[in-house]
């Protein structure tokens, strides 16, 4: 509509959608990212004023920018019913309406994913229901996991039952042409099987989303929505508490982390501050050479979620080894998941370390073809670090083939033997390099990466189990 603007601002690394809504010079931002200047700049360009910041719930998978954005703009932070914050926020009543220019936004309390979860219904200037901003209540193809409530006595079964009622009483009665703008798409750990699409219609969801089947009983819903949900990543509860309680200003975090360091300064801080050296280059670059005891999590993969899954302390001091020009991006993406204690980066990148003459290490690797030939002759120890579903779908046959998902490497490390040699693989090489770097830093020195992972192994004669489609597992 000419007097209304809706823009989805999607961040692939987090599979997250924030929203910019404008009507007649007034703006609402829904679920903003940690770095908020982009929303301020956009409103300034449009000669508009940010009036509201709507939060669909206390996000667990990222730190929202609502507090910083409110301080910058004077906009009102709005949460749904039952939310309690440690900062100034407006707690909406169920069905409360907020005026924005010539349009309205109605808060529909939809508990289930979390107790305060709220869907925001946009009503256009003609009074027609136009769209819902459904947060993690309704995704395309899925619904939000009901096991993330903060300090609640309710079980996940209780929350799933609430979600069933929310969907059927608040969402499904809306017209089929209502547009669905969810908080996440494929790749998010907030649901099981999210669509790659990031915008859809409610009518399509009623036809295709298993959770919206008209003939589904509450008992069936509870069983199906909970089936196959893995434990939440360890950082989820910590991010949710940051969103509830508050955090350092993003600009402060960025300034602290954006500090260039010489090789000597870098080494001194690493030793005296017990800092983790995080290398964010590609897995190929890391394999060819890296700082001893550094951990690899590359920017080219699911960077922020893997950081959140694997670095257990949000206050962990971090030093960065990044490609030139990627330092600010790295600090920003760390802050999105609450890792605010970045102390600086190696100026000039890994080349600076090389020219300083300091010690380096490399990763041993083997081609899938060479591994296949050796595997037939010897009983090799293999560690598969793919997710459970990937492993069940197809894996190497062998007496000494072990599996645990990279997500849980910190709790499964005692399952492998430091005295043995392990050949490590994932699907393509990104996760196996992360796993190898973590294991090396913990004193596992006999590790060999299978180049190309399962994708490459499938093209060899190595013995594999029969393929099972993941959707049938």
**Model confidence band, residue 35 (pLDDT cutoffs 50, 70, 90):** very high
Same structural domain for residues 152 and 222?
yes
Q: Any idea which of 109-118, 150-159, 427-436, 449-458 has the lowest mean pLDDT?
A: 150-159
Same structural domain for residues 156 and 220?
yes
In the chain, pLDDT over 90 holds for what percent of residues?
92
CATH of the domain at 321: 3.40.250.10
- Write out the H or E segment, with its range, that includes residue 6: strand 4-11
**Model confidence band, residue 75 (pLDDT cutoffs 50, 70, 90):** very high
CA 174 – CA 84 distance, rounded (Å): 29
> What mean pLDDT value characterizes the chain?
95
pTM over 0.85: yes
pLDDT tens readout for residues 225-273: 999 888 899 999 999 999 999 999 999 999 999 999 999 999 999 999 9
pLDDT tens readout for residues 119-159: 999 999 999 999 999 999 999 999 999 998 776 789 999 99
Residue where a domain stops, chosen among 215, 239, 263: 239
Residue where a domain stops, chosen among 324, 355, 386: 355
Cβ(223)–Cβ(231) below 8 Å: no
Residue 354: both structure tokens together: 């090389």
Residue 160: both structure tokens together: 């799933």
**Model confidence band, residue 471 (pLDDT cutoffs 50, 70, 90):** low
**Model confidence band, residue 193 (pLDDT cutoffs 50, 70, 90):** confident
Number of domains in the chain: 3
Same structural domain for residues 229 and 255?
no
Name the residue among 227, 213, 97, 109 with its Cα closest to residue 162: 109
Same structural domain for residues 308 and 431?
no
Q: What burial letters (b/e) apply to 109-133, b meaning 16+ CB within 10 Å?
A: bbbbbbbbbbbbbbbbeeeebbbbb
Name the residue among 266, 252, 263 with its Cα closest to residue 344: 266
Same structural domain for residues 23 and 82?
yes
Same structural domain for residues 277 and 395?
no
Residue 262: both structure tokens together: 């010489």
Same structural domain for residues 340 and 410?
no
Same structural domain for residues 130 and 218?
yes
Same structural domain for residues 208 and 190?
yes
Residue where a domain stops, chosen among 327, 355, 383: 355
Pick the more confident residue, 385 or 379.
385
CA 54 – CA 66 distance, rounded (Å): 8
- For residue 331, what are the CA distances in angstroms to 251, 266, 337, 342, 387? 11, 16, 11, 7, 27
pLDDT tens readout for residues 264-311: 999 999 999 999 999 999 999 999 999 999 999 999 999 999 999 999
pLDDT of residue 2: 58
Same structural domain for residues 72 and 91?
yes
Task: Tell me the residue range of the domain where 458 lies.
Answer: 364-472
| Rg of the chain taking only CA atoms, in angstroms | 24
pLDDT of residue 356: 97
Same structural domain for residues 207 and 300?
no
Residue 265 backbone dihedrals phi, psi, to 5 degrees? -65, -45
CA 403 – CA 408 distance, rounded (Å): 11
**Model confidence band, residue 1 (pLDDT cutoffs 50, 70, 90):** very low
CA 329 – CA 134 distance, rounded (Å): 28
CATH of the domain at 113: 3.60.15.10
Name the residue among 78, 72, 240, 67 with its Cα closest to residue 145: 240
Q: What is the 3-state secondary structure (H, E, C) of 265-288?
A: HHHHHHHHCCCEEEECCCHHHHHH
**Model confidence band, residue 321 (pLDDT cutoffs 50, 70, 90):** very high
Name the residue among 393, 389, 452 with its Cα closest to residue 426: 452
Is pLDDT at 115 greater than 60 in this prediction? yes
pLDDT tens readout for residues 327-369: 999 999 999 999 999 999 999 999 999 999 999 999 999 999 9
Same structural domain for residues 198 and 233?
yes
For the segment 16-38, the average pLDDT, to the nearest whole number, is 97
């Amino acid at each position: 509509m000419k007097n209304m603007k809706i823009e989805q601002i999607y961040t692939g690394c987090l599979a997250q959608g924030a929203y910019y809504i404008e009507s007649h010079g007034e703006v609402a931002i829904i679920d903003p990212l940690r770095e908020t200047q982009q929303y301020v700049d956009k409103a300034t360009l449009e000669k508009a004023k940010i009036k509201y910041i709507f939060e669909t719930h206390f996000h667990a998978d990222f730190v929202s920018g609502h507090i910083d954005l409110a301080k910058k703009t004077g906009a009102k932070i709005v949460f749904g019913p039952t939310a309690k914050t440690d900062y100034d926020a407006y707690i909406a009543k169920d069905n409360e309406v907020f005026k924005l220019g010539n349009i309205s936004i109605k808060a529909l309390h939809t508990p289930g994913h979390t107790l305060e979860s709220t869907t925001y219904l946009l009503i256009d200037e003609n009074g027609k229901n136009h769209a819902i901003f459904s947060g993690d209540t309704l995704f395309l193809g899925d619904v939000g996991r009901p096991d993330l409530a903060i300090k609640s006595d309710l079980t996940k079964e209780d929350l799933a039952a609430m979600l069933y009622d929310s969907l059927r009483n608040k969402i499904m009665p809306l017209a089929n042409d209502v547009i669905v703008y969810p908080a996440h798409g494929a790749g998010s750990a907030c649901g099981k099987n999210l669509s790659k699409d990031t915008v859809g219609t409610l009518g399509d969801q009623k036809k295709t989303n298993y959770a919206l089947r008209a003939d589904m009983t509450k008992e069936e819903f509870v069983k199906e929505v909970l089936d196959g949900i893995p434990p939440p990543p360890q950082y989820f509860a910590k991010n949710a508490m940051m969103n509830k309680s508050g955090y350092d200003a993003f600009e402060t975090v960025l300034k602290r982390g954006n500090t260039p360091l010489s090789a000597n300064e870098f080494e001194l801080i690493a030793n005296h501050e017990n800092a983790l050296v995080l290398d964010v280059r590609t897995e190929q670059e890391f394999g060819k050479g890296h700082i001893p005891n550094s951990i690899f999590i590359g920017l080219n993969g699911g960077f922020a979620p893997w950081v959140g899954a694997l670095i257990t302390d949000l206050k962990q001091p971090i030093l960065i080894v990044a490609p030139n020009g990627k330092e600010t991006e790295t600090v920003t993406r760390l802050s999105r998941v609450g890792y605010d204690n970045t102390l600086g980066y190696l100026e000039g990148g890994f080349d600076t370390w090389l020219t300083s003459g300091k010690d380096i290490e490399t990763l041993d690797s083997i081609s899938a073809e060479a591994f296949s030939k050796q595997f037939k002759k010897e009983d090799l120890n293999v560690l598969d670090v793919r997710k459970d579903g990937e492993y069940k779908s197809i894996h190497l046959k062998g007496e000494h083939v072990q599996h645990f998902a990279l997500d849980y490497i910190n709790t499964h490390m005692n399952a492998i033997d430091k005295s043995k040699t392990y050949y490590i693989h994932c699907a393509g090489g990104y996760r196996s390099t992360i796993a190898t770097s973590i294991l090396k830093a913990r004193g596992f020195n006999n590790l060999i990466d299978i180049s190309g992972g399962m994708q490459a192994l499938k093209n060899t004669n190595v013995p594999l189990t029969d393929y099972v489609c993941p959707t049938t597992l």
